[in-house]
Amino acid sequence: MEGNYYKEPLELKDFGSHCSLSEMDDFDLTRALEKPRQLKIERKRSFDERSMSELSTGYARHDSVLDMAHTPGSRSIVDTPLSYARNSFEPHPMVAEAWEALRRSMVFFRGQPVGTIAAYDHASEEVLNYDQVFVRDFVPSALAFLMNGEPDIVKNFLLKTLQLQGWEKRVDRFKLGEGVMPASFKVLHDPIRKTDTIVADFGESAIGRVAPVDSGFWWIILLRAYTKSTGDLTLSETPECQKGMRLILSLCLSEGFDTFPTLLCADGCSMVDRRMGVYGYPIEIQALFFMALRSALSMLKPDDEGREFIERIVKRLHALSFHMRNYFWLDFQQLNDIYRYKTEEYSHTAVNKFNVMPDSIPDWVFDFMPHRGGYFVGNVSPARMDFRWFSLGNCVSILSSLATPDQSMAIMDLLEHRWEELVGEMPLKICYPCIEGHEWRIVTGCDPKNTRWSYHNGGSWPVLLWTLTAACIKTGRPQIARRAIDLIESRLHRDCWPEYYDGKQGRYVGKQARKFQTWSIAGYLVAKMMLEDPSHIGMISLEEDKQMKPVIKRSASWTC
Ligand code: GLC
């Protein structure tokens, strides 16, 4: 029945209160794979939906615990992490601190929580826009709240940003597309009049006037996560949410002069929101685009207005996955093929379709590429392949199943092989390698914030831990995530939750990093909760197709 769902209570005693985490992982996954349960959210139209949620119902939450979570005021900061109560693990002391810090970052609009600010850093002289609720930054906060059985703030956020989407948006005299979602918003409290108002930024105030292309995609992905986690279909089925999705989709499914199914973007359009040479077809956006399309497909109603979008999405997904899996994929064999490419080939028979010059392959990539392993490169367009490795795009490719199961395994293999370079002392590099010298001058426009191994230029971002952990769980390699979490736990709290770290190994707190950066805090909590209860991954992961059995292969890294 719509809006109603059945949850099978979790038999806590089955686990035994003393079994180790790895035993429990083994037990959970085996059980989940053997006994797919009735799905809590039945949907007729979706093409993804099944497997991960079936997997998740294998360890569905205990109803009484969940009920408790919905009782207003029933929880204090100390007892916040429900998962610990459930599983009787000794929580790491950082967890309670993290919840406290996350709650401190909550933003209220007329008494209702609507988001979390980017950073709660009183020591920093320059606030800039770190006191705002960023759409992309709120995602890990939202997941933490959902995993902890607190969906209200997520629902309020989704509705508030949907309202903002309806605003008329301009940069100078130029009117922006109707579907554009804000990069961030701020709540202004007037203590005298006792009123709250909102100001939003769609790029018209942002440094460099950059376009938040990822915001709309994250919004759709979050709407699905909310729906998956709560079983509440009433939100995504409202005419307002349906329209919001269609408006976002109209922006990226419109016909133009494109010869590729990937989405053409300017620099600064996503997490890397400054000039960093990611213009063109950046992997982060393509992976989020793919995931948002699949998420929307599972939520759009096939009514008069929705049907056309569903058809367009299906066609686009087909073309997009083909393009990405073939042309963005790089492994040892593919690198060798590109190295031997002929150029200037004309016609359909061309092997080197984009006319990539082998001389443009950077030296580092020959050493970096292991025999086993691979990744989606940063960008592909005519005569231009950006060989840099970007972590978010690759992790989202795994989560969305843009990567085939083999490719997902290869991405994890590469990560293990290149642990020193990609993880070092602080998970996780935003991209690898950095650019320096003349190249840095040309590519970044001499950006002093993006110097080598800093910030977006090869800096290490703790927030990326949650995407890494989710990818590890999906590929059946939680041990990799555990190693990364151990590194985080040795420093993050001591360093006051910085936004990013600098250096080749990620050893130094970032030059201009904010402290108490909310997504560093929330990312840690999400990673911890997912590892403890892998069923959470269902809200942020999509299986390849509904026929496909969940691919959870054991690898050498599974056992500890
Ligand atoms: C920086 C980051 C961006 C983030 C914002 C708020 O601008 O580059 O990704 O959303 O800070 O934390």
Check residue 6 and give its pLDDT. Answer: 29
Q: Whose CA is nearest to atom 3 of ligand 1?
A: 271
Instruction: State the Cα torsion 141-146-151-155 to the nearest 10°.
Output: 60
Tell me the sheet residues that pair with 197: 188
| Most informative mutation of 137, 214, 456 for ligand 1 (most atoms within 8 A of CB) | 137
Report yes or no: 508 and 502 within 8 Å, Cβ to Cβ. yes
For residue 326, give the DSSP letter: I
Check residue 83 and give its pLDDT. Answer: 47
Of 92, 111, 105, residue with least CA distance to 140: 105
* pLDDT at residue 343 is higher than 70: yes
Cα of first residue to Cα of last residue in the chain, in angstroms, is 43
SS3 511: coil
Residue 89's pLDDT band, with cuts at 50, 70 and 90, is low
Ligand 1 contact, 55 CB (< 6 A): no
Q: What is the mean pLDDT of residues 332-337?
A: 98
| Tokens of residue 9, six digits | 């209570």
Taking the centre of ligand 1 as the mean of its atom positions, its distance from the CA of residue 274, in whole angstroms, is 9
Q: Whose CA is nearest to atom 2 of ligand 1?
A: 271
Backbone phi, then psi, for 434, in 5-degree steps? Answer: -85, 170
Taking the centre of ligand 1 as the mean of its atom positions, its distance from the CA of residue 273, in whole angstroms, is 7
Report yes or no: 247 and 343 within 8 Å, Cβ to Cβ. no
Check residue 40 and give its pLDDT. Answer: 34
| pLDDT tens digit sequence for 523-536 | 999 999 999 999 99
Ligand 1 contact, 121 CB (< 6 A): no
| Most informative mutation of 107, 121, 186, 273 for ligand 1 (most atoms within 8 A of CB) | 273
Ligand 1 contact, 137 CB (< 6 A): yes
Taking the centre of ligand 1 as the mean of its atom positions, its distance from the CA of residue 449, in whole angstroms, is 12
* pLDDT at residue 82 is higher than 80: no
Check residue 545 and give its pLDDT. Answer: 61
Taking the centre of ligand 1 as the mean of its atom positions, its distance from the CA of residue 184, in whole angstroms, is 10
- Relative to beta strand 112-116, strand 106-109 is antiparallel
Q: Which helix (H) or strand (E) holds 27?
A: helix 21-34
Ligand 1 contact, 411 CB (< 6 A): no
| pLDDT tens digit sequence for 180-209 | 999 999 999 999 999 999 999 999 999 999
Mean pLDDT of the chain: 85
Ligand 1 contact, 432 CB (< 6 A): no
Ligand 1 contact, 134 CB (< 6 A): yes
Check residue 51 and give its pLDDT. Answer: 31
**CA atoms of 186 and 266, how far apart (whole Å):** 25
Taking the centre of ligand 1 as the mean of its atom positions, its distance from the CA of residue 271, in whole angstroms, is 6
| Most informative mutation of 128, 132, 136 for ligand 1 (most atoms within 8 A of CB) | 136
Taking the centre of ligand 1 as the mean of its atom positions, its distance from the CA of residue 294, in whole angstroms, is 26
Taking the centre of ligand 1 as the mean of its atom positions, its distance from the CA of residue 371, in whole angstroms, is 35
* pLDDT at residue 96 is higher than 60: yes
| pLDDT tens digit sequence for 228-276 | 999 999 999 999 999 999 999 999 999 999 999 999 999 999 999 999 9
| pLDDT tens digit sequence for 7-41 | 333 322 232 223 322 332 222 333 333 333 333 33
Check residue 127 and give its pLDDT. Answer: 75
Ligand 1 contact, 447 CB (< 6 A): no
Check residue 297 and give its pLDDT. Answer: 97
Q: Whose CA is nearest to atom 12 of ligand 1?
A: 118
Ligand 1 contact, 136 CB (< 6 A): yes
Taking the centre of ligand 1 as the mean of its atom positions, its distance from the CA of residue 203, in whole angstroms, is 13
pTM passes above 0.75: yes
Task: Please classify residue 431 by burial: count the beta carbons closer than 10 Å to its beta carbon, then call 0-12 exposed, 13-18 middle and 19+ buried.
Answer: buried
Taking the centre of ligand 1 as the mean of its atom positions, its distance from the CA of residue 115, in whole angstroms, is 15
Taking the centre of ligand 1 as the mean of its atom positions, its distance from the CA of residue 104, in whole angstroms, is 19
| pLDDT tens digit sequence for 122-134 | 666 677 788 999 9
| pLDDT tens digit sequence for 418-466 | 999 999 999 999 999 999 999 999 999 999 999 999 999 999 999 999 9
Ligand 1 contact, 544 CB (< 6 A): no
Q: Whose CA is nearest to atom 6 of ligand 1?
A: 118
* pLDDT at residue 45 is higher than 60: no
Ligand 1 contact, 271 CB (< 6 A): yes
Ligand 1 contact, 273 CB (< 6 A): yes
Check residue 125 and give its pLDDT. Answer: 65
Check residue 91 and give its pLDDT. Answer: 84
| pLDDT tens digit sequence for 364-403 | 999 999 999 999 999 999 999 999 999 999 999 999 999 9
SS3 212: coil
| pLDDT tens digit sequence for 270-313 | 999 999 999 999 999 999 999 999 999 999 999 999 999 999 99
